[in-house]
Every structure is written in structure tokens, then in C-alpha cells.
Structure 1
Amino acid sequence: MPTEIGVIEGFFGRPWTWAERTETLRFLGGRGYGFWLYAPKADPYLRRRWREPYPEAELAELRAFAACCRDADVRFGVGLTPFELHFGFDQMAKAALSAKLAALDDAGVQDLAILFDDMKGDVPDLAARQAEIVHWVGPRTKASRLIMCPSYYSDDPVLDRVFGARPAGYLDDLGRTLDAAVHVMWTGEEVCSREQSVGHLERVGQALRRRPFLWDNYPVNDGPRMSQHLHLRAFTGRPAAIAGHIAAHAVNPASQPVLSRIPMLTLVEAYARGEGYQYLAAFRRAASEVLGEALAARVEADLLSLEDAGLARLGERQATLAARYAAFDHPAAREIVDWLEGGYAITGEALQTQ
């Protein structure tokens, strides 16, 4: 097993309710998940409006969730995205950041992630600028673990197309400049990596001068394309052998909180069984535990439609499936019906505004 498996709640689109979040925490906390990083893209006070203070009602929800984490013996963390702070880290920005850190301390953070993803990064001294911010934060937070996500958190060239060409030597500069105690997130060879290999993680670890803190973008299904599909199948391409090459394994869940639990359970089994892991058997065990036998069998029979075909290709089957799952009195079945009716669809505009 790796040091820890946990949740990075870092997807775009419709956020989970606090009740859904808490129920999922309690479910996963007793099944091998040891930390929770709260970082939904829909929380504006952690992202585009990060300089504004949290409304007291929202801060109270964070405090209550932190207490639930403590009760479940799960580390509570927050991911803060200070939009384009590396372009102007002046006194006003420092004052706003200091106030936000104090609010998060008040909420009870144990882990603090400073996230530089989803923003422009094509400046030559990007690594130095971001390291300066992270080092400034270090002594000003009560969090006992400090994590950062680079602007270029994968080898995937899509990041260069969207956010500008990454500076030459960015990863090496970041590894050399950052304090060794700071963890660095990485999603793999792609933003949504099909596999995580020992060879790749070793190479990234050498550049960063530390084992990467793996941000795994499965079963996340946000964005205009992925929101058309439910990600239900068991984890594959994450061999237990990677455990010694990562600092932790954080899973970004799907928009559907109950359905997410199916693949998320299988990751724990993949590490526990090692070379004996069988993904279909793992899916069946997890689906039965989450859904019950009857609904699990129904979902397995419909995987080609729900996961592979996606909404755009269902045609007349969409109404048939909706009626089929409406007959089940189960929250996961209601999530499937909601998805079939477009309740989880995400537009390109959401990616630009959240």
C-alpha cells in the first residue's frame, strides 16, 4: 500500500452537497481512504474570488466537515487556487492571502494545497515565482502538510495549448527550488492518464527531487466530453508496484457521489491484492457493496451504454434506461436517471468561469 490513499475533490461542474460529501467521507473513511482535500471548482472563494472572505455560513460548513473528518480519522485538507497570483505577489495580495489562510486555519485544515492549475503559466521564471508563494505560505498556515500543484502538472501537451508553452526546465527548476518538505502534485503522462507506470513516476520523481503526490483523474467525468459518460469500471493501469514511487494517491471522483464509490473501492483492492488483482472481479465486489446485488447486476449489464456509448449515442435507449433505473429505490439509481436527463451536463463556459 502507498503511504495514503485519499480524495481530491477537484472537479468542474455541479458540486456535491455537504450531505453527499459527508456520506461519501464516512463510507470511504472506513475502507482505506485516509485524507480528503476539499477543492471543488465550483467554490468561488477558493478560486476566482479567493481574495474575498468566506461567508460565515460557508465557513461553518467547512468547520462541520472538518469535524466529520476527525471523527472518521481522515485528514481534512483544502485546495486553494490563488488565480494568477504569480503575476502580482504584492502587499495587497499577501494581505488577502494571509486572511484566507487564517480562515482556513479556523476551519481546521490539516493539509493545505496551493493549486496553480487552470491558469496562464508561460513566464520564464514561473517555478521561482510559485516557490516564493509556497514558501511564504508555509510559516503562515497551521496545516501540518503543505502541497502544491504546478501549472504544468502533466506531460500532456494540452496544457501548453491552453495555458501557454511551459517554461524550459520548469519541473526541474521547481524540484530544485521548492523546500523538500513540500509535496508536489502530478497527474501522470496525461491530464487523465490511462496508466501510471513505475518508469514514468521514477522519471518525474527524479526531476522533482521527491516522490510525486499523485492526483489521479479517474473516475472524474467533468467537462463537456466526459460528462457524457459515467465512469464506473474498476481501476486499471495502477499497479501496486507504483506505491514506492509516490508520496500519496489522491483520487478525483466523478460528479455522481454514490456511483463514484464503486471504482474508488477498487483502487484499495488493487493495492491490497497486488499482482493478484482482477479488475472485473473487483468491480463486481465493489458494485455489490455500493449498490446491492440486483442494482449491481443491472449496472454491469448496462456498462456499454452508461460508460462507453455516452448520452449522445444512446438515442431511444435513453428513455428506456431512465425508466429502468427509476424502478430502483436507491440513490445511485437516482444519480443515473439524473445523468440520463442531463442533470450533470457541463458546458465549456463552466470551465472558463469556475
Structure 2
Amino acid sequence: MLLLIAVAALAVALVVTGWLVVSRERSGGHGTGKIEIPSIFPIPQHLQAGVGDPVPLNGHVYIVASPGTDQASITALQDLVTGAGGTAEAVTAMNSAAAGSSAVFLGTASDPTVSPVLKELGKESAADNQNAVSRAEGYAIATGKTSGIPTAVLAGTDADGVFHAVQTARQLLKDGAMAAARVSDWPLMETRGVIEGFYGTPWSHQARLDVLKFAGRQKMNTYIYSPKDDPQLREKWRALYSNEDLKELQELVDTATANHIRFTYALSPGIDSCYSSEADLNFAVAKLESLYSIGVRSFVIPLDDIATKVQCAEDLKEFGAGQANLAKAQASFLNDVNDRFISAKADIQPLQTVPTFYNGSASNAYKKELGRALNPGIVVQWTGEDVVSHRISADSAETARRTYGSPGSPRDLVIWDNYPVNDFSQDHLFMAPVIGRDSELYKSVRGLVTNPMIEPYLSFPAIFNYADLSWNGPAYDPGKSMDAALKQVSGPDPEVLAAVKAFVDLNQDWQDDELTPSAPELRRDIEQFWSDYDAGRSPSGGLKARAELLQRLPELLPKMAVPGFAADATHWATAAANYGRGVEEALIMLDAAKRGNSPAVAEARRNLQAALAAADAKTQPTLELGVVTPVLGDSELKTFLERALNTVAQSKLS
């Protein structure tokens, strides 16, 4: 029993460090060999060690892809081979293979070039593979040998699945070779992605491009363009885009498509529209048509954050007053948009909307009428029981489906999840792992999209978490997912990773949620210091080392694999560095006090107070609130510094 416990503990440790060790019987040999498979995120439905050795990608690699295979996937695989140090040769069939080369077969599982290779190499997991490639966006990976050379096959149900297979292959790569593995995988949620839906400074064009690429690598499939402070979406919703603006949007659409992301456009006419107005309907349809012309195939009509009563005189005359009649008016407008625009297109996603009452699962007059009057094919976006929901349960979502639907016909829901959005607290960053979301939500909702922070690159770790949660909720582990996310955005330098983790630790506190306590690692170091200090022991050194690391954040964060992270973090990192200097001076002051060195105490006190003043400076610009003071781990840091000052003040050296 003790041996079993020890083995289990070792396995857990290996998974946590990012590698899964799988034992298997070596083909044609005796005994058991150990194959290392990297941890894959999002976590696949099925992942096992493959047969044979890793497939080298650092030499000559044939990419075997039939004509018509998704070009984005071919390009991504070519980039993967090049990054591994290899040379990719794209061919449409495998006729003869040069000695010392490798092959990767790429395409859909129904492709006659790919199908027999998947059948041959994946025979040990044939049932799982068939299950995977019969589901939308599913894929299967197997490795072995064909034509006498190391071979991998990446087969998808569809083009999306093929692309997802390449993203998994990227994570299977180590030391220039793809681990011998068998993967059978598919997403549990249909819609998985990001909604740029906050108030405040909208993301830059470059940031949007980078988010699309990052989301695609994490197997998300949706980006919703809905920045609240973009006037073209709200105040000037009737105005058509200029050719220059359309060109910029076209680049976003094209980048989204290349990364297998659905670019979804959100038009918000509710601020001043008349739902009964034929002219306003024409304006809306014309605007959507202009976006359709550049390749947009997914649309939302958000009606959130507007007046909760009928305002337009024509609407009052046609529909009447009251919340139920507001729903009736809105349903009429949405149904007309659906009939005039959505239903007229053969290649378009179902229309989505955000109701004026968009949170809570309980019914009211508005929701009841909306459920009755709204076309049953229109999808509702919902934020959970609250506008910012700390917990979202499957039971709550099921109730909401019935509330926004009609008797016997529950409404399809997409959860607009207001985490880690910080538009309501723009001096804070919310960088804790995504918690409190039911692992079984996929059974109740169509999808889940995260509303990130105003700072796009600081939102990457949470986006990574949401990709995991929405792909395979039952396997999602917040801590492991966040660790993997931080490793990815940090890059290979362990010192940089330590700096990123120290920075993230300072930005855990999400509205005093008990699952996201403020600065837990810093708090541990502070508690250990005071325990040592009060007992008369030499301090362990943990707090001093953390203070030194915080001071180096402005130097280390720009070395990350995602450089935009450091730019977004500039003012918070500077504040953290000032706090780090203050903590270091506090430690010097306390030590000097114990030694009875009054001049050293006085100097350290002055330096501490200067550092605290610098940390409290207003440096972070906002769109509507002016310049604010970055807040991070303040309760722990300020409490420590105040206690240090009070401790010295109460000594004989005060």
C-alpha cells in the first residue's frame, strides 16, 4: 500500500512539472520502457504513449497533404518543422522516401491519403480515433513507421480539427522530435473564445491580431468584437465604416480565419434605436451587410447596458410601456434582422443577442416575454447569476435556458463570462486562475467566452485557462492550467518565469473571493519572516529574496516570450519594484534596530518611506478616470511596511 501511494505521488509530481510518464511494452522487446509524453493543454479526451520511437522533425520531413487540405494547417506544420530545425517538403503523396527522413500525414480522416495511415498507425486506439473524428473539430494523432521511416499522422474531422491536431503536435515536440503518442480528442463546448466587451480603452489593432493567434493556438474558435467604447458599435451604430476602417477589420477577419477563429461582429443599436422603425432596421441590415462583404459570418446584436423601458414614441405606440413590452419590441426587431439578414445567407452562424436583463436565472416579465416572442433559433448570451459571477453552475444555466426559452423549448445559451475583466476596477489586475465554473457546464450551454481585461497581454493566462475549461471541463485543473499558461507566456528562462509568477502572485485578489486570496506566496513569506523575527531567529531569507525579485520586475518581464505582457504591466511592475525596495529597506531597518544602529535605522526609514510614496504614485492612465494608482498586493505589502515602522517606533531607537 505504501509503495502504491509513493508511485501515485511521483506520477502526480511528474504531471505537475509538465510531463506525463507512461509505461508501455516496447514493440518486439522484453520488459517495460518508459515513454515521456508532455502534458497537453487543453487536456485531450484521450492521450496515451504511442508505439515506437519519437518522430524526428529536425531533419528532412515530408508533409503529405492532399490538394485541398487546409492551407493554414499546412503552414502551421511547416513552421513547426522549421522551428524544430528541420526542412519541410510538402508533397501530395508518399511515393518514395529518402533515407533518414520523416513523414507527417496531414488532412481529414476521410482523405484517402490520410485514412489508411491513421488506420495503420492508430489501430491500437481505433475506436477512440473513430469517435474523435466523427465529432465537429475532433482529431486523432498516431505515430509509428510507414515506408520504413518515422511517421506521424494528424487527422481531423474537418479543417478545424486538422488545425487543432497541429496545435497538439506543437506541444508533443521536444528536442526536435515529436513524442510517440496516440491522441483522440474533441471539444466538449461548441463555442470557445474571447469577447472584447469591456468599457475603457479598446485594444490596439496589433493586440487583437496577437489575441487571435494566441487563441487559435489554444484551440479556441471564437472572437467577438464588442468594445463598449468603440463609437461605431454603439453611439454611431448607423454609420457605415470607411474603406480604411473596413481594410483594418478585413485584416482581423483574415487573421481570425487563418487561426480557425470565427470573427463575430457585435452591433449595439439599443442605445437610441426605435425597434419599430423600418429605417433603423435598414440601417442595421446595411451595417451587417458591410461586414458580411469582408468575410464576417457571425453576428451579435447586444441590447445590454441600455434603458430598461421602452423609450421611442413609435415603440410606445406600437408595443406599449413596461418591461414585457420592451422584450416584445426587442424580439420584433431581432426577428426582423434574423429574417432579413441571417436567414437570407446560407453560410452564416445563428444570430446571437445579449438581453437587457442578461443575468440571473430567475424569470421576470421581460425574460418571459422575450422567451415567448424571440425566434427560437436566436442564441442568448448570459453572464450567470450576477453581472460579474463568482460561481456559475450547470443547474443555474439549465434554469436560465428555460427562463429565456419557451415552454418545452429551452434557449441555447453562450456564457459571457465577466472574468478577468477589470473595467469596473481599472487600478487592479485580475490574474488568478479561473475558478468557480462548473465542470459540467458543457452539458447545459452552447459555449463560453471570456471578457478579458483592458490589458490584452496580461489576459493571456486567463484566456489559456478558459480554453482548457471550455474544451474539456471535467479535466480542467485551475492550478495546473495556470502554471502551464505562465510557462508559455514566460518562455524558457527560469529567472523570467520566477519574475512572472511573483508578479502574478501580487494580482490574485478578485473582489475578496476566498478562492483567490491576495498575494498568497508573498503572504507566506511575510508570515515566515515575522515568525522568525518574533522568535529571535535569523530570518529564513524568503522575504528578502522576494523583495529583490520584485525590484527586478521591470528588467525581467521584457525578456518574456510574450513581450506585450511587460508593456501592459509597466506601471504595476514599477509599483511592485518600489514596494520591493520598501520591503528590503524595512528588513535593513529592522536588523539595524536589533543591532542598536540608530543612524542605519534612520536612513532605512527614510528610504522605506520614499519607496512607499513612489509605489503610491498615480501612473496608470485610464480612458474615463484619469490617471490612477496601480493596486497590487497592497494589503499585504502596506501592512508589512506599517508593522515594520511601528515595531521600530516602539523600540528604544524611536
**TM-score scaled by structure 1?**
0.85
Counterpart of 2:341 (choices 117, 140, 150) is 140
Q: How does 1:152-191 map to 2 (within 5 A)?
A: 152-155=357-360, 168-191=364-387
Residues 95, 269 of structure 1: alpha-carbon distance in 2 compared, 3 angstrom cutoff:
closer
Equivalent pair of 1:30/1:72 in contact (CA under 8 Å): yes
Deviates more, 1:269-278 or 1:36-45: 269-278
Q: Following the alignment from structure 2 to structure 1, what is the Cα–Cα distance between the partners of residues 286 and 368?
A: 32
Equivalent pair of 2:193/2:220 in contact (CA under 8 Å): yes
1:258 aligns with 2:447: no
Q: How does 1:59-78 map to 2 (within 5 A)?
A: 59-78=246-265
Residues 156, 204 of structure 1: alpha-carbon distance in 2 compared, 3 angstrom cutoff:
closer
Counterpart of 1:96 (choices 271, 274, 283) is 283
Residues 326, 92 of structure 1: alpha-carbon distance in 2 compared, 3 angstrom cutoff:
farther
Summarize deviations over 1:42-67 as a string: whole Å, max 9, x none. Answer: 21111111112212211111112111
Q: Deviation at 1:172? A: 1.9
Gapped regions of structure 1 (runs ≥ 5): 158-166, 315-319, 350-354
Q: Partner of 1:97: helix, strand, or coil?
A: helix
Q: Following the alignment from structure 2 to structure 1, what is the Cα–Cα distance between the partners of residues 442 and 204?
A: 32
Alignment match, 1:194 = 390
Alignment match, 2:221 = 34
Q: Partner of 2:293: helix, strand, or coil?
A: helix
Alignment match, 1:291 = 490
Counterpart of 1:248 (choices 435, 440, 447) is 447
- Could you say which structure has the higher helix fraction? 1
Amino acid at match of 2:370: L
1:345 aligns with 2:544: no
Q: How does 1:114-125 map to 2 (within 5 A)?
A: 114-123=301-310, 124=322, 125=325
Summarize deviations over 1:175-212 as a string: whole Å, max 9, x none. Answer: 12111111001000111110110111111011122132
Q: Following the alignment from structure 1 to structure 2, what is the Cα–Cα distance between the partners of residues 152 and 70?
A: 32
Equivalent pair of 2:274/2:280 in contact (CA under 8 Å): no
Residues 271, 66 of structure 1: alpha-carbon distance in 2 compared, 3 angstrom cutoff:
closer
- Could you say which structure has the higher strand fraction? 2
Counterpart of 1:81 (choices 268, 275, 280) is 268
Alignment match, 2:128 = none
Q: How does 1:198-347 map to 2 (within 5 A)?
A: 198-209=394-405, 210-223=411-424, 226-271=425-470, 274-292=473-491, 293-308=494-509, 324-329=553-558, 330-338=563-571, 342-343=619-620, 345-347=622-624
Q: Deviation at 1:273? A: 5.5
Q: Deviation at 1:336? A: 0.7
Q: Partner of 1:282: helix, strand, or coil?
A: helix
Residues 294, 136 of structure 1: alpha-carbon distance in 2 compared, 3 angstrom cutoff:
farther
Q: Which has the higher contact order (CA 8 A, sep 6+)?
A: 1
Amino acid at match of 2:365: G
Residues 343, 83 of structure 1: alpha-carbon distance in 2 compared, 3 angstrom cutoff:
farther
Residues 294, 79 of structure 1: alpha-carbon distance in 2 compared, 3 angstrom cutoff:
farther
Equivalent pair of 1:229/1:307 in contact (CA under 8 Å): no
Q: Partner of 1:250: helix, strand, or coil?
A: strand
Q: Deviation at 1:244? A: 0.9
Alignment match, 1:131 = 331
Q: Following the alignment from structure 2 to structure 1, what is the Cα–Cα distance between the partners of residues 390 and 287?
A: 36
Q: Partner of 2:309: helix, strand, or coil?
A: coil
Deviates more, 1:5-14 or 1:103-112: 103-112
Equivalent pair of 2:500/2:557 in contact (CA under 8 Å): no
Amino acid at match of 2:557: F
Q: Deviation at 1:251? A: 1.2
Q: Following the alignment from structure 2 to structure 1, what is the Cα–Cα distance between the partners of residues 217 and 191?
A: 13
Counterpart of 1:150 (choices 341, 355, 362) is 355
Residues 322, 297 of structure 1: alpha-carbon distance in 2 compared, 3 angstrom cutoff:
closer
Q: Following the alignment from structure 2 to structure 1, what is the Cα–Cα distance between the partners of residues 463 and 266?
A: 20
Residues 23, 302 of structure 1: alpha-carbon distance in 2 compared, 3 angstrom cutoff:
closer
Q: Deviation at 1:272? A: 5.1
Q: Deviation at 1:345? A: 3.0
Q: Deviation at 1:275? A: 4.4
Residues 337, 96 of structure 1: alpha-carbon distance in 2 compared, 3 angstrom cutoff:
same
Deviates more, 1:55-64 or 1:325-334: 325-334
Q: Following the alignment from structure 1 to structure 2, what is the Cα–Cα distance between the partners of residues 344 and 249?
A: 30
Amino acid at match of 1:246: V
Q: Deviation at 1:279? A: 1.7
Q: Following the alignment from structure 2 to structure 1, what is the Cα–Cα distance between the partners of residues 374 and 270?
A: 20
Gapped regions of structure 2 (runs ≥ 5): 1-187, 311-321, 406-410, 512-517, 520-548, 576-617, 627-654
Amino acid at match of 1:289: Q
Residues 96, 33 of structure 1: alpha-carbon distance in 2 compared, 3 angstrom cutoff:
same
Q: Following the alignment from structure 1 to structure 2, what is the Cα–Cα distance between the partners of residues 323 and 25?
A: 31
C-alpha RMSD of the superposition: 2.8
Among all aligned residue pairs of Structure 1 and Structure 2, give the percentage whose two residues are the same amino acid.
28
Amino acid at match of 2:359: S
Summarize deviations over 1:249-272 as a string: whole Å, max 9, x none. Answer: 111111122221101111232355
Equivalent pair of 1:227/1:346 in contact (CA under 8 Å): no
Residues 118, 321 of structure 1: alpha-carbon distance in 2 compared, 3 angstrom cutoff:
farther
Equivalent pair of 1:196/1:237 in contact (CA under 8 Å): yes
Q: Deviation at 1:239? A: 2.4
